[in-house]
Structure 1
Amino acid sequence: MKHHFLGSLFLFLVLISSCKSLQEKGNDQFLSGEYQYAINTFGQILAEDSANVEANQIVAESYRLSNRIEKSTPYYEQLVAQDPSFEAYYRLGLSYKANEELEKAEEAFESAKGYTSDEVFLAETQRQIEAIKLSEGIEEYFPNYELVNYQELNTAGADYAPITSENFIYFTSGRQASGLYAADGSPYTKLFRARAEGLRVDVSGVQALPEFRNEEGLNQAAIAISPDGNTIIYARGNSTSPKDFPETTLFASYFRGSGFTQPIWMPVNEDETWYNTTPAFSPDGEELYFASTRPGGYGGLDLYKATKLANGDFGNAKNLGPTINTPGNEMFPRPTADGKFFFSSDGHPGHGKLDLFVAELDESGTQVIRNLGENFNSNQDDFGIYFTEYPKEGYISSNRDGGVGDDDIYYFEDKTPKPKIVNVLLNVFTKQRVAGEPDAVLEQARVVLYDGQNKQMDGNFSNSTGRVRFTLAPDENYTIIASKSGYFSKSVPYTTNGKTPDPSTLVQDVTNITLDTTIVLDQLILDKSIVLENIYYDLDKADIRPDAALELDKLVQILKDNPTIRIELSSHADARATDAYNDDLTQRRAQSAVDYIVSQGIAADRLVAKGYGKRQLIIQNAQTEEEHQVNRRTEFKVIAVEN
């Protein structure tokens, strides 16, 4: 028993000493940013003591700081159970959110508010709660776009942030790495390219960037190339050398003569201790967008815009403001020529970690932020959008489940079904009215088609069968005007509303519908009287009744269609009153009709009012009321045609 006791005591002392050594080693690794090594070290302690507060704290923070907060959940759960605090609950909420456990995330954020009175912390926590609620109503920005993993281009490591320039695709990849990045244990990344045309990439020809040599022992990532192809900018950092720059910064290479220069540190970084990354040029190359942690931002990584200076450098970096930037991280900017601004963020309401968003102006001119929706975004990181043909196709990057490796390159295409086309083929037949006979074909009549805005769309002369054919669109309004010398011109409205099938019921891509309409023209003969039907007046009155106004409107249209004619408008009485009475009454009625026509926009000098009383009876010795009605009429005749 004694020897056994001594042996057990010795073993216990060895374990205590071992744990102390692991804690010191793990702390050194954590403070040096070697998060994956710290996770491995403290993992050994947690294997023996799963409730160790310090070990849970370091592992949780290591996962968070290496952008893997979704893996930190069990460690933050241990912390809130043993040593609850605002930070522990808040970050537990973030980890739940990254895993799409939204109810748990909201509960954790609510609990976090009970451990602080700091207004900034309370506001940020409430913002996270509101973001969860807003994320439930996100609609797809590009609803018919399809996202596909570019399996042939991706590897088991990281592949992301593709762009295209001069028939090449450029991207970041962990292939051909010569070391591991200690923060997350992944291979160091380099810059690569391959020949490409749109979304078609020669995956067999992927090569390390030939413009300049990739460096070893650090990450090179997120390349941007100016529209003219003469400037390359990329992010460079995480060097293993203590003599190198302490933070990720932007480097640039310029085309000079026969090749590109060795990359140099850019002045737009301003301070080597500031983190600067994910550059992108404006479509005209005059502005540089990038993400930075420089002072004066709104929290985390913010997006900035720098302008091109006279010497070719970029400077005067300006924060893009609180509409785009949040207390979270905004990265991977992508401005487009139409004024929209795409980017990635974990601070705006989204589906998980980094989501893809667009900033655009609404109808009032106010900038608004829209999530691209779940066909682009997942509960993991979705970022680095690039359009090969805006806005129909392009690339994004994502480490969502189901990929080939870590970060993968995905391509997207607009799969919106092509609309079924319906052509309305309208046959317009022109005819002439012949007294006492059927309407006859009228050849060589000029027929003109106008759209709903009175813009001429087409025109032609009718053929030997009197036909002119036009192609119209469904559900539109038109006006057709037919004219020929010696005839009254006539305009008629025409609509295709309700005359075509519902496109959703069609099978063929193109369907032609043939319709017919006829326009009959009357001969224009000077001094030939034309009776206006259905012009009635109340007894002994000359006022224009509503039913008479409808008939006079037809004459108004004739005068509008034929702007060169002058007419006499006459009124006639029956024979049942004195001459003086009938002359006065018919003159008043004719003038009343002329006044109405003038009120509709016809020039008064084109009209003459004439009352004939009973001097031009059509039926002499009329006996019946019907015969008197024939005599009691309103007529017009053309008295002049102006050239």
Structure 2
Amino acid sequence: MKKATHSVRFAALWLPLLVLLLQASCTSLQQKAQNQFSSGEYQMAISSYSRLLEKDPDNSEANLFIAESFRLSNRIENAASYYEKVSESDATFESAYYKGKSLKGKGEYDSAKVAFETAQTLTMDDQKIALAEKEIQNIEALSEVEPIWPNHELENYELLNTTGIDYAPVLSENYLYFTSSRGAGGLYPATGQGYTRLFRARAEGINVDVQNVQTLPEFQNETGLNQGAIAISPDGNTIIYARGNANAKNDLPEVSLFASYFRGGGFTEPIFMPVNGEPEYWNSTPAFSADGDTLYFASNRPGGLGGIDLYRSTRLANGDFGNVVNMGPPINTPGNELFPRPLPNGDFYFSSDGHPGYGKLDLFLAQKENGGVRVKNLGANINSIGDDFGIFFTDYPKEGYLTSNRPGGKGDDDIYYFKDMTPPPKVVNVLLNVVTKERLENGEEQVLPQTRVVLYDANNQTIDGNFSSQSGRLRFPLEPDKAYTMIASKTGYFSQSVPYSTIGKTPAPEELIQDVTNVTLDTTIVLEQLVLERAIILENIYYDLDKAEIRPDAAQELDKLVKILKDNPGIRIELSSHTDARASDTYNQDLSQRRAESAVEYIVSQGIDASRLEARGYGEQQLLIENAQTEEEHQVNRRTEFKVIEITE
């Protein structure tokens, strides 16, 4: 329950001054107004004191009690001008501080900051100075707040809301439960609104059957008091809600938590819960943990960090809740924290006016981070200068409900629903057309049908595979900005692995216009015939004069052979070296053998099993050009070749 809380930090110092003013009354209208204020009938007190101001606009007492009536009935945004009048005649820390709170509640941040700075000059109390400084820091921190869900949008649930109060929806077993002043039998004198009761309507997610809203059927709403925020256990067998603000002398004047349990086919009459503590404590806004074994709620009991703090209580062996513990900083602050919402993943949502926010209550998320807890404002697309509270997710974090009394609503507190309106990402479909060919002996290429091509990702995991058609064609769907490998194979041909990348071959995301963009790419894979004993020349294998060591340029060419051997693990080859005829046969034979062995050693160093290789130096025995005369002709004779001598698979 949010309305008309009496939990204010300066009650001990500030309210006694008000009592002294009450005792100094001198007219019947003043007496009536003072009695109304003392009884918590704030709306009536505002009306009576306003009549006094009509005759005496500078009446400091009337201005003060109107301001306080607005503050204590949770309408402090209406109090700034009245606190200003009080400060003109008798400025105090409290009048300046609450003026700042009122201005902040209207979104006038610069003026609010000035008011808080003024308040610091009107006291020597370090605690009060620190409170004002915290408000200043919170205002300054607003510029750093970024929306957690920038594409979430709020919508007032106008068909569900009334011109009165509607707040704190929770969903349980396809019913939306909420609090509302609709159809109230009387007015709550603190706010001038109707007393609130509990209601429900069928709902699926954020879709509510607004035509069939009914009062809570589990037990009867009580008259003459406010039924407030409700919590329902995960199993649906326990209902806990806030109830109070009664005028009857035999009932509790404050707000307390009551519980009703499902027993024997129905719910029991609600009973006062032990977690309430003393009768004068204010307790409200309950919520269950995901397992139902922890109860979270807000309370103003002594020992907290501020006006209202969040507490948790664990279920005892007898089914009751006990062991009440303050949740402490950084969640609780010297301000007010209410409406807890724990989630199964450990995220914890709540409302607060003590953390950097836009007005009064804002919604915050507390998450574990680096061994601690970080509290984050949900952002300006969720929060407003008004009260924003009571969040409930129907599909976390994409959609759900919350409550707000922001400007432009249908009534006082209104129920809003929110949805993630992030536009679907623009899609790029990449299609790779592959043509398989073979290289003929004359160097020309022709289509090679029925060639097996397998596609692998960057982690060498198979993605796709197929045979090319009779026209040598097949197609693979790829993703943008990814690296792939294709391995093509066909009996009688050297298998070949071909790297392929789509990086830089598709439009950048910011350049996309259509929701779906199709990109077609083309590539060709050419296979070489695998013929036993047919020599294949390795180009550009050069050695220094009278040397057999592998030069860097020769290594690059030998790497191509390494790749062939890796792509074709079932072949054994002979690697041969040949010289020209310009030295003795013996010299050339020895040099060519050393060069062939050196080449084989290099290939083995690259991971090829030595048993798959034979080194053979032919010297000048197999000249391609007999009686070579020119250097170019000698170069043709000086060559390195390989041929397949065995196929094991």
TM-score normalised per structure 1: 0.92
Matched, 1:274 2:262: no
Query: How well do the aligned residues superpose, as a CA RMSD in angstroms?
Result: 2.3
Please state how far the C-alpha of 1:483 moved relative to its aligned partner. 2.1
Work out which of the residue numbers 444, 447, 451 in structure 1 matches 2:457: 451
Q: Which residue of 2 aligns with 1:233?
A: 240
Q: Distance in 2 between matches of 1:287 and 1:22?
A: 50
Counterpart position of 1:71: 78
Q: In structure 1, what is the Cα distance between the partners aligned to 2:315 and 2:626?
A: 96
CA distance in 2, matches of 1:144, 1:503: 18
Shift of 1:211: 1.3
Cα distance in structure 2, aligned partners of 1:541 and 1:60: 101
Task: Look up the match of 1:496.
Answer: 502
Who is 1:148 aligned against? 155
Partner Cα separation in structure 1 for residue 519 and residue 264 of structure 2: 62
Q: Give the alignment of 1:102-501 within 5 angstroms.
A: 102-362=109-369, 364=370, 366-436=372-442, 438-501=444-507
Letter in 1 for 2:203: A
In the aligned structure 1, how far is the partner of 2:316 from the partner of 2:569? 64
Distance in 2 (alpha carbons) for counterparts of 1:18 and 1:300: 30
Task: Output one character per residue of 1:540-596: Cα deviation in whole Å (capped at 9) or x when no partner.
Answer: 333333322222222222222223333333322222222333334333333333333
CA distance in 1 between counterparts of 2:237 and 2:129 reads: 48
Residue of structure 1 in register with 2:518 after alignment? 512
Q: Taking structure 1 as reference, are residues 572 and 98 closer, same or farther at Cα in structure 2, changes over 3 Å only?
A: same
Counterpart Cα distance in 2 of 1:274 and 1:572: 101
Deviation of the 1:491 alpha carbon: 1.3
Tell me the secondary structure at the aligned position of residue 136 of structure 2: helix
> Could you say what secondary structure the match of 1:333 adopts?
strand
Aligned match of 1:616: 622
For residues 475-534 of structure 1, the C-alpha deviation after alignment (integer angstroms, 9 at most, x for no partner) is 221111222333322111111123223455555433332222221222333333322222
Q: Map Cα deviations across residues 100-148 of structure 1 (whole Å, 9 max, x no partner).
A: 1111111111112222333322222222111111112322221112211
Shift of 1:366: 4.4
Q: Secondary structure at the match of 1:136?
A: helix
Seen in structure 2, the aligned counterparts of structure 1 residues 470 and 31 have a Cα distance that, compared at 3 Å, is same
Q: Which residue of 66, 85, 92 maps to 1:59? A: 66
Name 2:99's counterpart in structure 1. 92
Query: Is the deviation greater in 52-61 or in 474-483?
Result: 52-61
SS in 1 for 2:28: helix
Aligned counterparts of 1:117 and 1:606: Cα–Cα separation in 2: 92
- The superposition leaves residues 254-283 of structure 1 with CA deviations (integer Å, 9 ceiling, x where unpaired) of 222322222222233333332221122223
- Equivalent residue, structure 1, for 2:46: 39
Whole-angstrom distance in 1 between the partners of 2:125 and 2:616? 93
Deviations 1:219-261 (A, max 9, x none): 1121122222222221111112222224212222222232222
Pick closer, same or farther for the CA change 1:540–1:201 going to 2, 3 Å. same
SS in 2 for 1:129: helix
Distance 1:274 1:527 in 2: 98
Cα distance, 1:205 vs. partner? 0.8
What amino acid sits opposite 1:395 in the alignment? Answer: Y
Q: Residues 154 and 249 from structure 1, CA distance in 2 versus in 1: closer, same or farther, beyond 3 angstroms?
A: same
2:554 aligned partner: 548
- Which residue identity does 1:469 align to in structure 2? R
| Matching residue's letter, 1:330 | E
Taking a change above 3 Å as real, the CA distance of residues 500 and 23 of structure 1, as seen in their structure-2 partners, is: same
Deviates most, 182-191 or 21-30? 21-30
Equivalent-residue separation in structure 2 for 1:641 and 1:310 (angstroms): 77
Secondary structure of the corresponding residue to residue 343 of structure 1:
strand
1:607 alignment partner AA = L
Contact 1:357 1:372 in 2 (8 A): yes
Q: What's the CA shift for 1:405?
A: 0.8
Residues 247 and 253, structure 2, Cα contact 8 Å, conserved in 1 = no
CA contact (8 A) 1:421 1:503 kept: no
Query: C-alpha distance in 2, partners of 1:552/1:154?
Result: 79
Report the Cα distance in structure 1 between the residues aligned to 2:445 and 2:641, rounded to whole angstroms. 22
Candidates 572, 592, 597, aligned match of 1:591: 597
Assess, with a 3 A threshold, how the Cα gap between structure 1 residues 462 and 326 changes in structure 2: closer, same or farther: same
Q: Distance in 1 between matches of 2:583 and 2:224?
A: 118
Helix, strand or coil at the partner of 1:491: strand
Cα distance change on mapping 1:524 and 1:317 into 2, 3 Å: farther
Separation in 2, partners of 1:45, 1:325: 40
Instruction: Answer whether contact 2:363 2:377 (CA < 8 A) is retained.
Output: yes
Structure 1 partner of 2:87: 80
TM-score (norm 2): 0.91
Shift in CA distance, 315/517, structure 1 to aligned 2, threshold 3 Å = farther
Contact 1:594 1:608 in 2 (8 A): yes
2:500 is aligned with what amino acid?
Y
Cα distance, 1:619 vs. partner?
1.8
Distance in 1 of aligned mates of 2:127 and 2:41: 30
Corresponding position: 1:533 with 2:542 = no
User: SS of the counterpart of 1:486?
Assistant: coil
Segments of 5+ residues of structure 1 without an aligned counterpart are 1-15
CA contact (8 A) 1:488 1:522 kept: yes
Amino acid at match of 1:39: I
Of 39-48 and 486-495, the range deviating more from structure 2: 39-48
- Shift in Å, 1:296: 3.2
Q: CA deviation at 1:437?
A: 5.8
- Measured in 2, the distance between the counterparts of 1:474 and 1:287 equals 48
The SS at the match of 1:440 is: strand
CA contact (8 A) 2:593 2:617 kept: yes
Determine if contact 1:19/1:45 at 8 Å carries over to the other structure: no
Deviation sequence 1:356-401 (CA, Å, 0-9, x none): 1222245x45432221222111111111111222222211111111
Structure 2 residue aligned with 1:101: 108
Following superposition, the deviation at residue 438 of structure 1 comes to 3.4
Secondary structure of the corresponding residue to residue 40 of structure 1: helix
What SS does the corresponding residue of 2:562 show, helix, strand or coil?
A: helix
Structure 2 SS opposite 1:612? strand
- Distance of 1:19 and 1:43 partners within structure 2: 16
CA shift at 1:174, angstroms?
0.5
Q: 1:580 aligns with which of 572, 579, 586?
A: 586
Residue type of the alignment partner of 1:371: N
Matched residue pairs, number? 627
Residue 175 of structure 1 and its aligned partner are, at CA, apart by: 0.3
* Residues in 1 aligned to 2:173 and 2:584: alpha-carbon distance in whole angstroms: 97
